[in-house]
C-alpha cells in the first residue's frame, strides 16, 4: 500500500521539478533586471521597481497565481495550465529575487564602480563585468532560500489542474480515503527535494566564495 502511494505520487515529481525549473530562472532574470533598474535606473524608474516589488510581495501567491493565470491563458495568449502556472510563479518570485539581488548589488560597494570607470570601462561594462559577477556570488546563500520557496510554491499550480505532487496526493486521498498516507508521502517527497536543493546550493556557495586574506 505504502509503496503504491509513493509510486503514484512520485510520478508528479518530474512535473514539480519542471515547474520549478521554469519559474525560478524566469524570476531570476526578471529580478536581476528589476534590481539593476532599482539601483541604476534613476529616481522614477527606481520608484516603479520598488512599487512592483511592494505590490507583488504584498498579495498572497495563490491570488496572484489565479490573476496571472487567467490573464495569461485567457486574454493575452493561449497557454497550457503548466506554462501559465510556471510563468505566473516566475513573475511572483521575481519580486523576492529582486530584493535579494538589490541587496547583493548594493553590497558590492560604490568603490568597484569608481575603479572600473577609472580604468576606462563604461558604466554598462562596469555593471556587466565587475558588479554583477560579484553580486551573484553574494546572492547565492539568500537565493537558496528563495529556490526552496519556489519549489514548495510549485504545489500551488495544483489549483489550476497541473498534475504535480500535491495534485496526485489529493487525487489519491479522494480515491483511497487515506489522506494521512497520501499527503504524508507528498510531504516526504517535498522534504527530500528541498533538502537536495539546499545542499546543492550550499556547496555552490562554498565553491564560489572568495578566499579571505590572512592577516
Residue 203 in grid coordinates: 556547496
Phi/psi of residue 77, each to 5°? -155, 150
* Helix segments in the chain, DSSP class H: 2-10, 13-40, 43-58, 61-71, 81-108, 110-118, 123-126, 132-153, 165-176, 179-208
Residue 129 lies in a domain: yes
Is 213 within the bounds of a domain?
no
Q: Does the predicted TM-score (pTM) go above 0.75?
A: yes
Please give the Cα distance from 85 to 73 (Å, whole number): 9
Q: What is the CATH number of the domain that holds 188?
A: 1.10.3720.10
Q: Is the pLDDT of residue 10 over 90?
A: no
Determine, yes or no, domain membership for 19.
yes
Range of the domain at 8: 2-208
Please report whether residue 44 resides in a domain.
yes
Res 41: pLDDT: 87
Q: What mean pLDDT is reported for the chain?
A: 86
Per-residue pLDDT at 170 exceeds 50: yes
Identify the band that residue 26 occupies on the pLDDT scale cut at 50, 70 and 90.
very high
- Is residue 89 included in any domain, yes or no? yes
DSSP 120-137: T--HHHHIIIIIHHHHHH
- Tally of domains in the chain: 1
pLDDT digits (tens, 9 = 90+) for 105-138: 988 877 888 888 888 888 888 888 888 888 888 8
CB 151 within 8 A of CB 16: yes
Among 104, 105, 64, which residue's Cα sits nearest to residue 88? Answer: 64
Each residue's pLDDT tens digit, 190-202: 999 999 999 998 8
Evaluate whether residue 214 is within a structural domain. Answer: no
Instruction: Assess whether pLDDT exceeds 70 at residue 211.
Output: no
Q: Is 213's pLDDT higher than 50?
A: no
Write the pLDDT tens digit of every residue in 51-95: 999 999 998 888 888 888 887 776 667 788 899 889 999 999 999
Amino acid at each position: 500500500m505504502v509503496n503504491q502511494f509513493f509510486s503514484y505520487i512520485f510520478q508528479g515529481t518530474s512535473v514539480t521539478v519542471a515547474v520549478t525549473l521554469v519559474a525560478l530562472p524566469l524570476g531570476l532574470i526578471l529580478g536581476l533586471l528589476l534590481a539593476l533598474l532599482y539601483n541604476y535606473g534613476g529616481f522614477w524608474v527606481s520608484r516603479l521597481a520598488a512599487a512592483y516589488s511592494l505590490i507583488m510581495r504584498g498579495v498572497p501567491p495563490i491570488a496572484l497565481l489565479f490573476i496571472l493565470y487567467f490573464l495569461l491563458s485567457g486574454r493575452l495568449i493561449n497557454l497550457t495550465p503548466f506554462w501559465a502556472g510556471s510563468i505566473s510563479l516566475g513573475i511572483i518570485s521575481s519580486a523576492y529575487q529582486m530584493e535579494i539581488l538589490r541587496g547583493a548589488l548594493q553590497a558590492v560597494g560604490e568603490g568597484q564602480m569608481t575603479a572600473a570607470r577609472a580604468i576606462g570601462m563604461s558604466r554598462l561594462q562596469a555593471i556587466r563585468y565587475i558588479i554583477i559577477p560579484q553580486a551573484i556570488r553574494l546572492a547565492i546563500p539568500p537565493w537558496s532560500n528563495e529556490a526552496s520557496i519556489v519549489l514548495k510554491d510549485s504545489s500551488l499550480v495544483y489549483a489550476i489542474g497541473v498534475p504535480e505532487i500535491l495534485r496526485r496526493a489529493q487525487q489519491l486521498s479522494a480515491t483511497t480515503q487515506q489522506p494521512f498516507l497520501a499527503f504524508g508521502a507528498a510531504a516526504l517527497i517535498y522534504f527530500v527535494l528541498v533538502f537536495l536543493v539546499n545542499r546543492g546550493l550550499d556547496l555552490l556557495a562554498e565553491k564560489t566564495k572568495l578566499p579571505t586574506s590572512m592577516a
